[in-house]
Structure 1
């Protein structure tokens, strides 16, 4: 019987440590690769991403994560909590996105506004096998509910 207890304890500790290691994969410096709406790339903002790098830096705090980076025009920041997690995906709660207030060219400003709204609407995430971070959510666009996805690479 003691052997079973030791084995069970070792297995549980291994599973717990694996989950923490995998969750720690989001604590990275990311670059925005694509903005998708209902599975299709946002054409204008995709073009802008070729000219301008949008970064996302995620850092753990005690009971939540801080994020920040450089958007199309401004520096930005915010925080989120992970509500549920199962190895490579989970539910999250974004607690607001703030930014500096510089004005930029209208096309870059429009993409930045769009990016901030989508970031704020994200309610789940997934880590892909090829190392991408996907932030997912729902947002009303042009009067209809749409699936949104922000795709980041390291």
Structure 2
């Protein structure tokens, strides 16, 4: 009985994390910095346009990233949404070298306060909400993906939710 108790307590201590995590410096600032344009949203198992399919020809949503020279692993962002300009920052807190995914902490997103047509205001609110709630970032094939990625490789309808940007 005593050996069984020891075994039950020791097994969790011996488990090994299956992914390789290294310092946040593993992401290349040159790959991340620059001007990006929002192309799509990935919504679990479907792709949506920046302002939904019902909004034809909305203004382009831009997203510019630059490394903060004062704080290590911190990046500033700014851009133009459908109506207002916005700004903020995020910090890379961890990087998984196997999946090439950075964990991020997004700070407060600030913006100008101009009003516009309801459909564009709704589009902008959705963008700000996605951006504010983002937890992960990945640079892949000329795209910057920001949001939450799936945690399992088993096919499911939950493929994550994230913004898809292309380099401008």
- What TM-score, normalized by structure 1, do the two folds share? 0.74
1:33 aligns with 2:43: no
* Matching residue of 1:79: 89
- How far apart in 1 are the matches of 2:125 and 2:115? 11
8 A Cα contact 2:81 2:124, kept in partner:
yes
8 A Cα contact 1:27 1:58, kept in partner:
yes
Deviation at residue 74 of structure 1 after TM alignment: 0.3
Structure (1/2) with the larger strand percentage: 1
In the superposition, relative to structure 1, how do residues 58 and 75 fare at CA in structure 2: closer, same or farther (>3 Å)? same
8 A Cα contact 2:40 2:49, kept in partner:
no
- How far apart in 2 are the matches of 1:29 and 1:102? 23
Unaligned runs of 5+ in 2: 1-22, 150-157
Unaligned runs of 5+ in 1: 1-15, 139-144
- How far apart in 1 are the matches of 2:89 and 2:102? 16
8 A Cα contact 2:137 2:144, kept in partner:
yes
In the superposition, relative to structure 1, how do residues 137 and 59 fare at CA in structure 2: closer, same or farther (>3 Å)? same
Deviation at residue 86 of structure 1 after TM alignment: 4.1
SS in 1 for 2:82: coil
8 A Cα contact 2:38 2:50, kept in partner:
no
In the superposition, relative to structure 1, how do residues 146 and 131 fare at CA in structure 2: closer, same or farther (>3 Å)? closer
Deviation at residue 52 of structure 1 after TM alignment: 1.4
> What root-mean-square deviation, in Å, do the aligned CA atoms of Structure 1 and Structure 2 show?
2.6
SS in 1 for 2:114: coil
Q: 86, 111, 122: which is aligned to 2:134?
A: 122
Deviation at residue 39 of structure 1 after TM alignment: 2.9
SS in 2 for 1:59: strand
